[in-house]
Structure 1
Amino acid sequence: MTHRTKLHKEKVNWPITIILMVVAAGLILFPLYLTISIALRDPSDMVNLLAFPKKLNFSNFAEAWKMTNYPLKFRNTLFITVINLVFTIITNSAVSYAITRNYKKSKFFKGMYYYFISAMFIPFSVLMLPLVKQAALFHVDNIGGITFLYIIFGLPMNIFLYSGYIKSIPEAIDEAATIDGASPLQTFTRVIFPMLKPMTATVAILSFMWTWNDFLMPLILLSKPEQQTLQLSQYVFQGQFTTQYNLAFASYLLVILPILVVYIFCQKWIISGVVSGAVKQ
């Protein structure tokens, strides 16, 4: 009887499953097909966008590369993303550890936790104008300044993720390290931080994708052309009366290609990290 019940519960409704898979694949693949199709077209072949291009024009990618000054903008974007990634992991994990371990012991750390988490509910559009004025005042409206701001703006979400994972690590491990003579810093760097690998992978990938794809903050802070990121370079295809859609879409593919490769190879760590962070002690 138990065996029959188990088989009944594990039964899969394959027609519904297949329909949902086809719909999901269509929602993902159809926009991708349109993007690639437009990127490979001649300007004269823009009538029926659903049809496959009559002639594949791969020179659009070379032209888009040249018009956007892709190597320079790629270096700027990569520098901002990598530096933000390194310092985000180091600082945000340490802050999260200090807050989580002292959350029940100190009202200060408890207040700091709610202070950072509350920042998640403030829209960036509310902060735009004050941010522009203060960035100009402190001369951080440049690549170095915007990298620092990414680290600060990532704190609320990263503290939320890290704290959820640290709560699942027994405090007895910290106590054992203290008995062995480890300082709080040594306990974190040598004992706790290596145990945060799943969540660190999640924070790293999400921070990478957010920084690489962000358009709004570079738009309001980076005014010099030589400091612009790949996202801002997409403006070059928009004229006063016309838009070069074939070159623009070719450029879009060049921009999303690195982040797509990163996501394809690292998506399992995103899922495992988020699931692991949901487990509480």
Structure 2
Amino acid sequence: LTVLTNSLVAYAIARNMHKKVYKVLFYYFVSAMFVPFPIIMLPIVKQMSAIGLNNPTGLIILYVVYGLAFNIFLYVGYIKTIPKELEEAAIIDGCSRWGVFWRVVFPLLAPMNATVGILTALWAWNDFMLPLVILSDRNDATLPLVQYIFQSQFSVNYNLAFASYLLALLPMLIV
């Protein structure tokens, strides 16, 4: 979801950067990278609870939205290196703008899609703060939250922590 949505937005911004609206939009997204999560944490938690998205679906939506700034920064820089002549040739051959993106540009974005996918997966896998404040049901806990249960002020129960970690990874190891 992140790769699809962010690449579409970045393509629109990169190819229309000569227009003032898109340039302002690009700088707006880039400036969002400088806002730390703890500053906006409380309003986000209240908003997500008010609309009933304090579950994994809400967490996925927030990951897509929070990754937007950095991913657009990466995608725009990469899309600028793709020659416009390829898109012009596709338009002459009868492609629509959607067709140009899906048939020409998106396949050329494969290295950047892999980069964004890997970075987003690592960020979501290792994130502790966002699931801690968003998820209300204990059964929806992510792996870092489950590991947090086994820590107390003065000790860590390593044997149970590692056992729970292996049980969480077991379905992936079987495949």
Report the TM-score when normalising by structure 1.
Answer: 0.57
In 1, the alpha carbon distance for the partners of 2:114 and 2:151 equals 37
| CA offsets 1:147-178 (integer angstroms, 9 cap, x no match) | 11110111011101111110101111111111
Structure 1 residue 242, shift from structure 2 partner: 4.0
Q: Does 1:97 align with 2:11?
A: yes
Q: Does 1:221 align with 2:134?
A: yes
Q: Does 1:136 align with 2:49?
A: yes
Indicate which of 139, 145, 151 corresponds to 2:64: 151
Partner letter of residue 21 of structure 2? F
In 2, the alpha carbon distance for the partners of 1:203 and 1:166 equals 14
Structure 1 residue 109, shift from structure 2 partner: 1.0
What's the Cα RMSD here? 2.3
Distance 1:204 1:121, change over 3 A: same
What percent of counterpart residues are identical? 54
Distance 1:253 1:161, change over 3 A: farther
Q: Secondary structure at the match of 1:154?
A: helix
In 2, the alpha carbon distance for the partners of 1:120 and 1:174 equals 30
Structure 1 outlier segments of 4+, above 2 Å: 238-243, 245-259
In 2, the alpha carbon distance for the partners of 1:202 and 1:120 equals 18
Distance 1:119 1:255, change over 3 A: farther
Indicate conservation of the 8 Å contact 1:141/1:222, yes or no.
Answer: yes
In 1, the alpha carbon distance for the partners of 2:52 and 2:160 equals 35
1:187-206 → structure 2 map (5 Å cutoff): 187-206=100-119
In 2, the alpha carbon distance for the partners of 1:128 and 1:258 equals 32
Give structure 2 stretches of 5+ with no counterpart.
none
Q: Secondary structure at the match of 1:238?
A: coil
Structure 1 residue 180, shift from structure 2 partner: 1.3
Structure 1 residue 250, shift from structure 2 partner: 5.3
Q: Secondary structure at the match of 1:223?
A: coil
Indicate conservation of the 8 Å contact 1:103/1:110, yes or no.
Answer: yes
Higher relative contact order (CA 8 A, sep 6+): 1
Larger radius of gyration: 1
Report the TM-score when normalising by structure 2.
Answer: 0.90
Structure 1 residue 138, shift from structure 2 partner: 1.5
In 2, the alpha carbon distance for the partners of 1:208 and 1:254 equals 20
In 2, the alpha carbon distance for the partners of 1:152 and 1:173 equals 30
Indicate conservation of the 8 Å contact 1:89/1:203, yes or no.
Answer: yes
Distance 1:124 1:254, change over 3 A: farther
Indicate which of 158, 165, 171 corresponds to 2:78: 165
In 2, the alpha carbon distance for the partners of 1:257 and 1:205 equals 21
Structure 1 residue 255, shift from structure 2 partner: 6.7
Structure 1 residue 238, shift from structure 2 partner: 2.6
